[in-house]
Structure formats: C-alpha cells, structure tokens
Amino acid sequence: MILPNKHIREEEALIGVGAILLTKISSSVLLSELWEQVKEISNIGNYERFILGLDLLFLLGLIKIEDNHIKKITL
C-alpha cells in the first residue's frame, strides 16, 4: 500500500498521495487548510489516507509539523 505494484497504481499508493500533498504544501500551511484543498481529490480518498500520506512525508524527512502548521523541508 505504500509503494505501487501490479495491483495498486502509483496514484493510489501512499507514495502517490504524499506526492500530491507535497505539491500542495507551500512554505507553511495549516493542517485544516491543506485538508480543505485536497479532500476532493479522488486519489486522497479520505481523511485516513490524508494523514497516512502526511505520516509518510514526515518519516521521509520531507515535512515538519509545528503547532498545527505543516512546513516543507527544503534541502
């Protein structure tokens, strides 16, 4: 479910969800604002997949979360 395979397309895997979320995150965005931006995207699906996508981005070191704000880590 994290990575695509022959049964799960890239857009449906969590890595695809994370990619969508990463494109929507500006320098800093509220969690609720980000959810409002992406909740209608069919690949995100529901709030649980939204949070799992954010968890994956956090574990990969691509975002940080401080005081309900999500910030993109720039290298």
Residue 2 has pLDDT above 80, yes or no: no
How many CB atoms are closer than 10 A to CB 33?
Answer: 15
Mean pLDDT rounded to a whole number for the chain: 87
Structure tokens, 54: 């954010």
**Do the beta carbons of residue 70 and residue 21 sit within 8 Å?**
no
Q: What is the mean pLDDT of residues 8-18?
A: 80
Q: Phi and psi dihedrals of 21, rounded to 5?
A: -60, -40
Q: What is the pLDDT of residue 11?
A: 65
d(CA 44, CA 53) in angstroms, rounded, equals 8
Q: What is the pLDDT of residue 1?
A: 63
**Do the beta carbons of residue 22 and residue 14 sit within 8 Å?**
no
Among 9-23, 27-41, 45-59, which is the least confidently predicted range? 9-23
